[in-house]
Structure 1
Amino acid sequence: MIAITDEQFGDLVAGFDDNFIHLETRDAYGTTVELPHMAKWAAGEHDDLEWLQDWCANLRRKRAAGKSMRRARIVSEPLSDYQRWSHSIAQPMVDAGEDIRWVPRRLVSSIAFPGNDFYVFDNRTVMFLIYAGSGLAAEKLVSTDPADVRLCLSAFEAAWKLAVPHRGYTPV
């Protein structure tokens, strides 16, 4: 595995050929981009979500080109404040072409998961997202090892079968 920069991550997201999948397993994150917006939400303030527009624009371009983008969020219920906020801002990404689904953690007890959240690009490159205990992003590691790819694809598809589409998921 090799460590990559945020810029290289951006290149992977912008440059995939056919599809990506993304599995999220934490109940809370603390990314420096998101924290101020979550704080506004917690205070009941309006957020125009302008900060999400670059991501959504990329999703729209990929969808227009026939690409597939799927995200499964494994969540504890009742949802953490972070996941409630995340649910509240997901619709623009869904509208832009990312299929976001929610999986109650109680349903995935018998699924073997990698130790970290991940993306798989084009069924051949895995990027593991390493987080500090605070939820802040600590590192991104990339692997093309076929065993890593198989593990991640298997875990994702098993969770996906149990997942509820964003429009149909009611936060508990």
Structure 2
Amino acid sequence: MSQSLNSFADLLRSARESAVHLELRDVYAVDNEDEGFRAWKSGRRLDPADRASWWRPWLDLVQEVTANGVSLRRARVISEPASEYIRYEHSFTFTNVAGGEQVRWLPRRGASDLLLPGNDFWLFDGKIVQFNIFDGDGRWVHTDQSDDPAVARNCAAAFDAVWERAVPHEAFSVAE
């Protein structure tokens, strides 16, 4: 199933209580991040005081959804030492938090005894699961969606297990 950003935004806006996102990869090759990733590798860092330079449509959507009372949480399971991409991602995660997301990080070794799905996912109101399928190089391939209650329960349990062990963004650091 292919999904545009607009249809994802509609799905996120349809959440009434919660939306959780579990990320399991150490590398994402997302086209709209190429320029920022290159700039980061050249030493550019976002300035938390210059919101106009980093506020983007995603953060508008996050702010809209959380203002409606929806809890938006993201958990990232990462290898250590962190990949270059994860160090880049960590450097701007303060923007997600400013938008209203809660973000936590769990070193992969802390997840060894957890049963986790094979793909990243979003879970909306504990009912609809959207799996994001990536290729080996981190490029998005397609989206699978399920409203099977057993799949939703399994994903909720996996997310909750990671969330319980993970460290809040504000207290988690990665070496650059």
Normalising by the smaller structure, the TM-score range is: over 0.9
Question: Which residues of 2 match residues 8-157 of structure 1 at below 5 A?
Answer: 8-45=7-44, 53-157=56-160
Structure 1 residue 4 displacement after superposition = 3.8
Q: How many angstroms apart in 1 are the aligned matches of 2:66 and 2:81?
A: 32
**Within 2, Cα distance between the matches of 1:66 and 1:8?**
21
Q: Bigger CA drift: 17-26 or 44-53? A: 44-53
Normalised by the length of structure 1, the TM-score is 0.92
Q: How does 1:153-164 map to 2 (within 5 A)?
A: 153-164=156-167
2-side partners of 1:62 and 1:10: how far apart? 10
In structure 2, relative to structure 1, the CA distance for the partners of 1:13 and 1:50 (3 Å cut) is farther
Give the percent of matched residue pairs that are identical in Structure 1 and Structure 2: 38
Contact 2:62–2:101, Cα closer than 8 Å, also in 1: yes
Residue 79 of structure 1 contacts residue 171 of structure 1 at CA under 8 Å; is this kept in 2? yes
Indicate conservation of the 8 Å contact 1:4/1:142, yes or no: no
Gaps spanning 5+ residues in structure 2: where?
none
Kindly state the Cα deviation for residue 15 of structure 1 after the two structures are TM-superposed. Answer: 2.5
Q: How much does 1:64 deviate?
A: 1.8
Q: How many residues align?
A: 170
Q: Could you give the per-residue CA deviations for residues 49-77 of structure 1, whole angstroms, max 9, x where no partner exists?
A: 85751111111122222110000000111
In structure 1, runs of 5+ residues without a counterpart are none
Distance of aligned partners of 1:162 and 1:148 in 2 relative to their CA distance in 1, 3 Å threshold: same
Q: Distance in 1 between matches of 2:77 and 2:40?
A: 22
Q: Which range moved further: 87-96 or 8-17?
A: 8-17
Distance in 1 of aligned mates of 2:53 and 2:10: 21
Distance 1:161 1:124, change over 3 A: same
TM-score for the superposition, normalised by structure 2: 0.90
Q: Is the 8 A contact 2:16 2:69 kept in 1?
A: no
Cα distance change of structure 1 residues 139 and 52 upon mapping to structure 2, 3 Å threshold: farther
Q: Which amino acid aligns with 1:97?
A: G
Quote how far apart the aligned CAs of 1:46 are: 5.2
Distance 1:73 1:52 in 2: 21
Assess, with a 3 A threshold, how the Cα gap between structure 1 residues 51 and 129 changes in structure 2: closer, same or farther.
farther
| CA deviation string 1:5-57 (max 9, x = no partner) | 22322221233222100000001100111122111100113557857511111
Query: How large is the Cα RMSD of the aligned pairs?
Result: 1.6
CA distance in 1, matches of 2:34, 2:55: 13
